Amino acid sequence: MTNELHSFVKEALAAGATREKIRVVSAEAGWNPDEIKGALALYADVDFPVPVPRRRPYLSAREAFIYLVLFTCLYISAFNFGSLLFEFINRWIPDALRRYESGDLSSIRFAVASPIVAFPLYLWLSAIMGKAVAGDPDKRGSKIRKWLTYLTLFVAAGVLIGDLISLFFNLLGGELTARFLLKTLVVLLIAGTVFGYYLWDLRQEEKTN
């Protein structure tokens, strides 16, 4: 179905129709704005007798590998940073109904070691891909980058929703404690920061298109 729109746009541009006119008639035919925008984006907005196709971004295996490692490092850093803060909260406000094993520090060591390795690697890989995108803005259209970004937004949104449900569930049951509230705040801050950053990144991408 989308190929039909692409063919129509190509023929309309070749016939001298303006982009605005193409948008109007395509919308009247039932195509949605994103489909129309995508079809028009296939061709450069230049003065030439025939439609000039835009260069399509090519994602190399190297770039796919970098993006996969980059987002994996993000997940590892966020999860273990949250685990570390949970450990501190557990020691600061012990559970009166459960004796806390304060002598076992292996979980804290692991929660500290993971971000120490993963987060600098995440920043380094982000800088590499940032330079690559600056040199070739078309790389922002990388499909794997978009898929991983939306997957990250989905996971972060799911965590935020679950955290808020848990908060109100305990609030309605009259079981709110300082320990629980602090852990809820930690989850909100970490997931909210990740969600907000990548949502902002997507909006910046839309502005440049």
- The number of beta carbons lying within 10 Å of the beta carbon of residue 60 is 9
Say which residue, 11 or 133, is predicted with more confidence. 11
Tokens 């259209």 locate to 141
The rounded distance, in Å, linking the Cα atoms of 195 and 190 is: 9
203 has pLDDT over 70: yes
The rounded distance, in Å, linking the Cα atoms of 94 and 103 is: 13
Ramachandran sector of residue 108 (left: φ over 0; alpha: ψ -120 to 50; beta: rest): alpha
The helix/strand/coil state of 142 is coil
Report phi then psi at 53, rounded to 5.
Answer: -70, 140
Query: What percent of the chain lies above the pLDDT cut of 70?
Result: 88
Report phi then psi at 58, rounded to 5.
Answer: -110, 125
**Over the stretch 16-67, which tens digit does the pLDDT of each residue have?**
888 898 899 888 888 888 888 888 888 888 877 888 887 776 667 788 899 9
**Over the stretch 66-100, which tens digit does the pLDDT of each residue have?**
999 999 999 999 999 999 999 888 888 876 555 55
The rounded distance, in Å, linking the Cα atoms of 195 and 163 is: 14
CB 24 within 8 A of CB 40: no
